[in-house]
Structure 1
Amino acid sequence: MYFISTAWGWLTTGLRRLVGLQIPTPGSRSSLPAKDVNFDTAMQVSAFWACARLISETVASLPVVFYRVQGKQRTPDDSHPLYPVLAMKPNRYQTRVDFFMTLVLNLVTWGNAYAQITKNSQGQIISLLPLMSSQMQVRLLSDGAVIYQYTNSAGVNVFAEGSIWHIKIFGNGIIGLSPLGYATNSIAIAQASEDRVSQVFRNGAKPAGVLMVDGALNREQRAEIRASFADLAEGNNDSLIVLDKFMKYEQVSMSPQDIELLQSRRFQVEDIARFMGVPSVLINDTQSTTAWGSGIQQIIEGWYKLGLRPYLENIELSARLNLLPVAERRGWEIELDFDALLRADMLARYQAYQTAINGGFMKPGEARSQEGWSPADGDDQLLVNSTMVPISQAGRPKQTTAGVE
């Protein structure tokens, strides 16, 4: 499948929407990657793993909430038949958390996530089974219809558009662009750096070199000397080696310091994090920032709003349009509860509640509900600070029903 995708990419360079196979990877490259990259090798790069894991687990941790919409009022309501499927157990194998981790992992690596939709005889969805993006091909037919071809051990299965829940990031509108495909060069450099580090340490951190001899040697003598002095540049033995006066050892390979290997590896962390839309500090990169100081909260909140929120909006709207019947789309909304991520610290929350209650636009019972507490007597009414008066009455005696105070 990779060969077919690559060959098609050569013929369709650029972001185009052509009838036929839709390709999420680059049609051409400015330079050849340092190594071959696929999902398995990419996930062995710690920065790529950390970014994919962070986004997937964060989204999967958010509860799914169904709202019934009546005019401008929204009320949480779990009576919809889709609720137990999407919010609890989407299929026979997975919980909601497992399902969304798989779905989002495919989305952030391949740019597309797919789930097979199964309905009962009444037309209600009873199962959502994730399908691996690497095994899926999307085709646009000449009449505008989209079909999905999924390859597994049983062969090729063809699905109509209504049988697949397809979530995609930005692309040509039919298919999303693959971060894994477009970040190949950066990931390949990181892999090549890892290979070099592994090679250095397997070799006891010894540089390769040349053993120079003052005189001509035959083949047998060369082999004997090479075997005798192999530990100069090979293996982990650090035994003392004595050279004859007519022998001289000269290093020919660069050391890790010479090729700035550590700096290169640090840069690749930032570069991969940039491709994945994650601040590098959130994957434990502390080189270019003071990190866990006063600014980390702003970094996290910024990522929640600019990096994570677009994923959530995408999933929510896609679920509403693809999983709900047309007649129910205006009356129901599906959301991943984002409030828990933006929840302020305890002192800030209490100060906000106090301001809202004193201002008369939040009931004490609503504040208690936000904290998960049971209501108390007198909580279900709006309060107002009685010391507040219109500015035009400032300094005047206070009027009461009995007269002037």
Structure 2
Amino acid sequence: MIFNKIEKRAEITLQQFLEERITDKDGDIDKSKALGIPSVSACVNLIANIVGSLKVKLYKETKGKTEEIIDYRTLLLNKRTGDTLNPTEFKKAMVIDYLLDKGGYAFINGNKSLNYVDCINISILKGIDPILKDFDISVNGQRYLPFQFLRLLRNTKDGSSGIGIVQESNEALSVAYRIQEFEKRQIKAGGNKSGFLKSKSKLSPDGLSDLRTRWKTLYNAGETNMMILNDGIDFVGVQATSVELQMNETKTINNAEICKLMEVPTGIFEGNITEEEFNSFIKTRIIPILIAFESCLNEGLLTEVEKEALITEHTNYYWQFETSELLKGSLVERYQAYQIAVLSGFMTKNEVRNKENLEDIEGLDIVTMNLADVIFDVKTKTYFTPNMNATNSLGSDKGIEPNPIKEKGDDTK
């Protein structure tokens, strides 16, 4: 007689474990379970830590001139939120919910505080019109209007909630999570080989109960146990499947796929990433999140007067993260580009300063030119040679005509 259900925990194979789905709820994973996967946690925390460490500033741009504005809003975002979370923790929490769940939400409590709200407590009450979209936000049964919340949303289609990576790639994350759970189950079983017992004769109820108790004790982790089988009872081991034999390889592939899913280079955790790869990671992964965060702040923290100032006063108010320390390598490249633009007369030095959100300096609204250059006016079809102070018409068969130089004391116009 074969007792093939004496200890299910010991006999189940990885392939069976992966295919096992008792209910839909057990098959899917949520944000908490996803963060229990080491590669997911590492990628998400890396991204959130980078964004959380950056300061965000408010700027006012008028007629090409930019100045920084410091008020209670910059204080809430960079010094103290007025909530139990500090600004770094606040930004991290918002980004984690943005990446994994339906979005990062924070209640705007006037000029007093910015209060992060876990999206698990957020319910969206949507209107029925698909064109003139409208919604309210409910927290613990209390109804709020959209402008009372900051909403950092990923892949949103209605501005109320987004689609996180957990929902978007639930199957891929489920496989990684279930492999991890299988390993945990094997460890709990003490690492003993899976199998079943085969008896030549039928056991009595008391004998069967005693065998089950001793079998369970054998598979307790953390203890050195031994079991003696009675005559006529044999242990038959279960042959490892190809999936189990390739578990380490499967885990490596899954980790690489999760990093690809998170758009994080695997070399960043191994310490062999190049500067070019790191800058590419910043530009393709971090910068889009910063832009989404800035849009969220522009929508939620700018006053209506500031939003309309672009039309009424030609003044642009906007939020921007300070990324100079983050992009040191790119900073050199950017400054070299500015140097070329200034030397070629393409930009003034104050225009360069405005690009970097710096205030103008009097006297730097100039374009430098080389005296050896010849300037051509496309409208008048004439050349001007600065070092000779002379002009010549295009196609003229005459020589260069020097410009009359006004002598000192000469009043001739």
> Residues 203 and 236 of structure 1 are in contact (CA less than 8 Å); yes or no, is this contact kept in structure 2?
no
Query: Distance between the aligned counterparts of 1:273 and 1:45, measured in 2?
Result: 12
> Residues 138 and 149 of structure 1 are in contact (CA less than 8 Å); yes or no, is this contact kept in structure 2?
yes
The equivalent residue for 1:6 is none
Equivalence map 1:265-344=2 (5 Å)? 265-275=251-261, 277-281=262-266, 284=269, 292=272, 296-329=274-307, 330=310, 331=315, 332-344=317-329
Compare CA radii of gyration and give the structure with the larger one.
Answer: 2
The alpha carbon displacement at 1:251 in A equals 0.6
CA 1:145–1:241 in structure 2 vs 1: closer, same or farther (change >3 Å)? closer
CA 1:384–1:88 in structure 2 vs 1: closer, same or farther (change >3 Å)? farther
Q: Which runs of 5+ in 2 are unaligned?
A: 1-22, 357-363, 375-386, 389-413
SS of 2:93 mapped into structure 1: helix
SS of 1:82 mapped into structure 2: helix
> Which of 41, 53, 57 is the aligned partner of 2:33?
41
Comparing 209-218 and 354-363, the one that deviates more: 354-363
> Which of 122, 131, 134 is the aligned partner of 1:136?
122
The equivalent residue for 1:99 is 90
Matched, 1:115 2:106: yes
> Residues 33 and 189 of structure 1 are in contact (CA less than 8 Å); yes or no, is this contact kept in structure 2?
no
CA 1:225–1:92 in structure 2 vs 1: closer, same or farther (change >3 Å)? closer
One-letter amino acid of the structure 2 residue matched with residue 271 of structure 1: E
The equivalent residue for 2:9 is none
One-letter amino acid of the structure 1 residue matched with residue 280 of structure 2: G
Superposed CA offset, 1:370-404 (max 9, x none): 9xxxxxxxx99998899x877xxxxxxxx89xxxx
Matched, 1:52 2:44: yes
Equivalence map 1:226-241=2 (5 Å)? 235=221
Query: Distance between the aligned counterparts of 1:267 and 1:202, measured in 2?
Result: 25
The alpha carbon displacement at 1:159 in A equals 0.5
The alpha carbon displacement at 1:242 in A equals 6.8
SS of 1:341 mapped into structure 2: coil
TM-score by length of 1: 0.68
The alpha carbon displacement at 1:346 in A equals 9.7
CA 1:137–1:225 in structure 2 vs 1: closer, same or farther (change >3 Å)? closer
> Residues 279 and 299 of structure 1 are in contact (CA less than 8 Å); yes or no, is this contact kept in structure 2?
no
Matched, 1:145 2:134: yes
> Which of 148, 154, 176 is the aligned partner of 1:169?
154
Over the matched positions of the two proteins, sequence identity in percent amounts to 16
The alpha carbon displacement at 1:96 in A equals 2.2
The alpha carbon displacement at 1:195 in A equals 1.6
Query: Distance between the aligned counterparts of 2:304 and 2:292, measured in 1?
Result: 18
What is the aligned-residue RMSD (CA, Å)?
4.1
> Which of 53, 56, 67 is the aligned partner of 1:61?
53
Query: Distance between the aligned counterparts of 2:117 and 2:213, measured in 1?
Result: 54
One-letter amino acid of the structure 2 residue matched with residue 199 of structure 1: R
One-letter amino acid of the structure 2 residue matched with residue 41 of structure 1: K
One-letter amino acid of the structure 2 residue matched with residue 105 of structure 1: I
The equivalent residue for 1:78 is 69
Query: Distance between the aligned counterparts of 1:359 and 1:271, measured in 2?
Result: 46
TM-score by length of 2: 0.67
One-letter amino acid of the structure 1 residue matched with residue 54 of structure 2: L
The equivalent residue for 2:143 is 158
CA 1:244–1:105 in structure 2 vs 1: closer, same or farther (change >3 Å)? closer
One-letter amino acid of the structure 1 residue matched with residue 154 of structure 2: I
The alpha carbon displacement at 1:217 in A equals 3.8
The equivalent residue for 2:78 is 87
The alpha carbon displacement at 1:281 in A equals 0.8
One-letter amino acid of the structure 2 residue matched with residue 97 of structure 1: T
> Residues 297 and 319 of structure 2 are in contact (CA less than 8 Å); yes or no, is this contact kept in structure 1?
yes
One-letter amino acid of the structure 2 residue matched with residue 278 of structure 1: E
Query: Distance between the aligned counterparts of 1:126 and 1:74, measured in 2?
Result: 31
CA 1:255–1:101 in structure 2 vs 1: closer, same or farther (change >3 Å)? same
